[in-house]
Amino acid sequence: MYSKRFEKEAFKEEVKNNIKNLYRKTIEEATGRQIFQAVSLAVKETIIDYWLATQAEMEKEDPKTVYYMSMEFLMGRALGNNLINMTAYKEVKEALDEMGIDLNAVEDEEPDPALGNGGLGRLAACFLDSLATLGYPAYGCGIRYRYGMFKQKIENGYQVEVPDNWLKDGNPFEIRRDEYAKEVRFGGDVRIEYDPVTKRNNFIQENYSSVLAVPYDMPIIGYGNHVVNTLRIWDAEAITDFHLDAFNRGDYRHAVEQENLAKMIVDVLYPCDDHYAGKELRLKQQYFFISASLQALLVRYKKKHDDVRKLHEKVTIQMNDTHPTLAVAELMHLLIDQEGLEWDEAWDVTTKTVAYTNHTIMAEALEKWPVDLFSRLLPRIYQIIQEIDRRFIEQVRSRYPGDEGRVARMAIIRDGQVKMAHLAIVAGYSVNGVARLHTEILKHEELKDFYDMMPEKFNNKTNGITQRRFLMHGNPLLADWVTKRIGDGWITDLSQMSRLKKYVDDPKALAEFREIKYQNKLRLAEYIKKYNGIEVDPRSIFDVQVKRLHEYKRQFLNILHVMYLYNQIKDHPEMYFYPRTFIFGAKAAAGYVRAKETIKLINSVADVINNDKSINGKIKVVFIEDYRVSNAEIIFAAADVSEQISTASKEASGTGNMKFMLNGAPTLGTMDGANVEIVEEVGIENAFIFGLSSDEVINFENNGGYNPADIYFNDWDIKRVVDQLIDGTYSNGDREMYRDLYDSLVNTHGQERADRYFILKDFRSYADAQKRVEEAYKDREGWAKKALMNVACCGKFSSDRTIQEYVDDIWHLDHIKVDA
């Protein structure tokens, strides 16, 4: 264990020296940020030894390795998590205490690296944690965006996006690896040249622009096992020799273009989640990191192996959604044009190496690139995709003669567009969804044609989350209590949580458990007071919905229900009502108008309700600014109710739902995504389920038959709430402010159906479920039992389980062992 080798005095000395050498200061003079840097560098010292040891082991054993390709890694802060996984958290805390430094405050100085939007990016981060913890060799490959997810400010109730310069003071954990830099080429033309010796055509890209991809490596530490994997994120620079040359040739414009390309390419993460914007720069980003990662991967492989035809024996590439699908064509390009393989040989290797994970069925998220843009930017890659498509269509035709409709539906290139999901499925040796229901919908609805033709590729891998960050780090009180009760095996084997079931009937254990939740609610209440200036009652029900703002996630339903409750309390002040704090946290993509209107609505409702003395604080509404990994940990720990209320069939899995469960908050949700499996584990009596089923939703979508006007005109409570959107109640008399939200419920807009997400349809059943929550919460011990059952039954939702399934069914990796 690291902790055994941890020497307190040496560590303290190191921190002091770092401050002296870096800043010419004493501890007393140093700023918080400087102390954070000094502590992190001291921690990195130890990490490096294990990082080297892991690399040496990989060099020696040559294990099969996964390259997890992702446009997003939503890592969150590293210091605390690294200390936890080094099993040195408590010792370092003690050492710093002795120096008069508070570790929590030091952790708060770390920028929260947000190189991801939401679920997909955070899943990638949890997967890296689990891979290292389980001792599997892995590289995460991504982009070192200068600006990650924006910081959210709320001004006058509106979201304002502020750039997050997370690298301003440097990132103490990263290491720049100039020696692995690679050139990435864009544009130009492809000249075909016949080589009489090899009797092959050579494809030569000319007149291109290029950038230099420079990798930065970050350590990914396994829990207590000394394994340190690598997250490799690529920065872009202008190729200096090249542009000097261009300057000399007088080609000034080209040189400047290349300089600009390098600056632009890694500048910013696209803030669209579950939505494809079709921007050329995004395609450049995708090719940039894929090409660099694959070039580096091949160099590494060839150090030990001389036959690239066997690449798949040592390497597997997982494509996190379609964003990295260019890996298919780039690998073909490198194998054919650089390594000299024949098409069939290259295809054989590629289709045994790449695998694809689908994360959504939302049509607007499907990546389709216009052919003209694509072929201009990536001429050789486009040729390769054309050839893949030509051969694939031949196969479809021979399998389904005469079925041209099917050919049209399945083609990779069609109607002037390149369909990335089709390319990923055709080339991938595995296609997986992220929860059982989602995978079934892929097989039988969205990807039915592909499933019919190649059922063997399809499989499910229900998502998971890491208990190291979301319980050990985020909720130390509960983590310690669990360890006291069942030992610490749960840290690397979450299924052991089931041993907590026996405490469900133990009043003393339940009382302790309840007290921990209360302490965590106090912590969140302080946070809310500090950052929102709102007093909330920690004895009220903390009812929480935190996630990206998206129509299908239905924050709108939640706030409409709050408006409905408020009407009820105003109408019947004498009515029994258990005090509730409705807590929201959500970022909206900068260009997503309706999502931003919803944020404004939540804040407006909060203003009206929180300032209405007549309701005696029975309802409070809080919108937490800048929801991100670091405050998420505090929020999950304090939640009583986990709102997972997406329109059934739309949320592929969800992972927030699992984090709430781990922290003892029962789910109030629809039968969507992984909620279905959560209910299966915890029992329906320990959750609050409502709403249309996914079959019902899909049936309405396909066959019609739902008219929200029927509800609007027949349910007076609902009509009243909906009308309040346009009667000025929440907009100081402005009847237009929420007109678009109102219209979205009751009026058809062009192609868009009214109430596309079935908010009015599910409203009553949601309100009933909320009533059941209130009833259940009144029984304090009964509630604690439900909450504890959620903790006890969360074992399945560890990303350790998910990763083990990927390894067993898809990747077939070798283990590594690193001795201390």
| Active site amino acids | 359, 547-548, 553, 655, 659
Q: Which stretch binds ligand CJB (CB under 6 A): 119-127, 450-458, 584-592, 601-609?
A: 119-127
681 near ligand CJB, judged by CB under 6 A: no
460-489: contacts with ligand CJB (CB under 6 A): 463
Rounded Cα distance, 31 and 28, in Å: 8
For ligand CJB, the binding residue among 57, 109, 273, 625 (CB under 6 A) is 273
For ligand CJB, the binding residue among 91, 235, 274, 449 (CB under 6 A) is 274
- Residue 485 Rama label (left phi>0; alpha psi -120 to 50; beta): alpha
Question: The tokens of 3 are what?
Answer: 């902790």
Residue 457, amino acid? K
432 near ligand CJB, judged by CB under 6 A: no
For ligand CJB, the binding residue among 114, 238, 262, 434 (CB under 6 A) is 434
365 near ligand CJB, judged by CB under 6 A: yes
Cβ closer to ligand CJB: 74 or 482? Answer: 74
119 near ligand CJB, judged by CB under 6 A: yes
Q: Minimum distance from CB of 715 to ligand CJB (Å)?
A: 30
CA-based nearest residue to 747, from 766, 717, 726: 726
- β-bridge partners, 316: 66
For ligand CJB, the binding residue among 44, 226, 359, 422 (CB under 6 A) is 359
Asked if 585 contacts 548 with a C-beta cutoff of 8 angstroms, the reply is no
Rounded Cα distance, 448 and 433, in Å: 13
Q: Minimum distance from CB of 661 to ligand CJB (Å)?
A: 14
Cβ closer to ligand CJB: 325 or 463? Answer: 463
E strands present in 682-744:
688-689
Cβ closer to ligand CJB: 181 or 441? Answer: 441
Cβ closer to ligand CJB: 123 or 377? Answer: 123
Binding mask 533-572 for ligand CJB (x = CB under 6 A): ----------------------------------------
Rounded Cα distance, 404 and 160, in Å: 49
CA-based nearest residue to 656, from 585, 590, 562: 585
Q: Minimum distance from CB of 113 to ligand CJB (Å)?
A: 17
Q: Minimum distance from CB of 282 to ligand CJB (Å)?
A: 12
Rounded Cα distance, 427 and 387, in Å: 12
Rounded Cα distance, 156 and 160, in Å: 10
686 near ligand CJB, judged by CB under 6 A: no
For ligand CJB, the binding residue among 109, 651, 755, 800 (CB under 6 A) is 651
369-388: contacts with ligand CJB (CB under 6 A): none
Concatenating the DSSP letter of every residue in 70-134 gives: -S-B----SHHHHHHHTT-HHHHHHHHHHTT--HHHHHHTS----BS-SHHHHHHHHHHHHHHHT
Alpha helix (H) residue ranges in 215-319: 240-248, 252-265, 280-304, 311-314
- In angstroms, the first-to-last Cα distance of the chain is 7
Asked if 327 contacts 356 with a C-beta cutoff of 8 angstroms, the reply is no
Q: Minimum distance from CB of 348 to ligand CJB (Å)?
A: 30
655 near ligand CJB, judged by CB under 6 A: yes
Q: Which stretch binds ligand CJB (CB under 6 A): 106-114, 118-126, 335-343, 371-379?
A: 118-126
Count of residues that interact with ligand CJB, criterion CB under 6 A: 19
Q: Which stretch binds ligand CJB (CB under 6 A): 48-56, 116-124, 189-197, 330-338?
A: 116-124
Helix (H) or strand (E) holding 667: strand 667-669
CA-based nearest residue to 668, from 579, 554, 548: 554
305-324: contacts with ligand CJB (CB under 6 A): 321
Contacts of 572 (CB under 8 A, 6+ apart): none
462 SS3 class: coil
604 near ligand CJB, judged by CB under 6 A: no
Cβ closer to ligand CJB: 381 or 435? Answer: 435
Cβ closer to ligand CJB: 360 or 520? Answer: 360
Rounded Cα distance, 732 and 304, in Å: 70
For ligand CJB, the binding residue among 75, 78, 123, 181 (CB under 6 A) is 123
Alpha-carbon separation of residue 117 from 124, 208, 380 (angstroms): 11, 32, 31
The CB-side HSE value for 720 (13 A sphere, CA atoms) comes to 12
Residue 93, amino acid? K
- Which residue number places its CB atom closest to ligand CJB? 119
For ligand CJB, the binding residue among 19, 120, 478, 816 (CB under 6 A) is 120
672 near ligand CJB, judged by CB under 6 A: no
Q: Minimum distance from CB of 118 to ligand CJB (Å)?
A: 4
Question: The tokens of 285 are what?
Answer: 């980003």
Q: Minimum distance from CB of 673 to ligand CJB (Å)?
A: 5
For ligand CJB, the binding residue among 140, 215, 673, 691 (CB under 6 A) is 673
What is the maximum alpha-carbon separation in the chain?
93
For ligand CJB, the binding residue among 159, 351, 430, 653 (CB under 6 A) is 653
CA-based nearest residue to 347, from 322, 374, 329: 329
Q: Minimum distance from CB of 288 to ligand CJB (Å)?
A: 19
Concatenating the DSSP letter of every residue in 509-551 gives: HHHHHHHHHHHHHHHHHHHHHHHH-----TTSEEEEEES---G
- β-bridge partners, 546: 585
Cβ closer to ligand CJB: 594 or 764? Answer: 594
Contacts of 301 (CB under 8 A, 6+ apart): 308, 311, 314, 315
Q: Minimum distance from CB of 625 to ligand CJB (Å)?
A: 21
Binding mask 225-264 for ligand CJB (x = CB under 6 A): ----------------------------------------
Q: Which stretch binds ligand CJB (CB under 6 A): 189-197, 520-528, 649-657, 728-736?
A: 649-657
Kindly list the residues in this chain that would bind ligand CJB in the complex (CB under 6 A): 117-120, 123, 273-274, 321, 359-360, 365, 434, 463, 651-655, 673
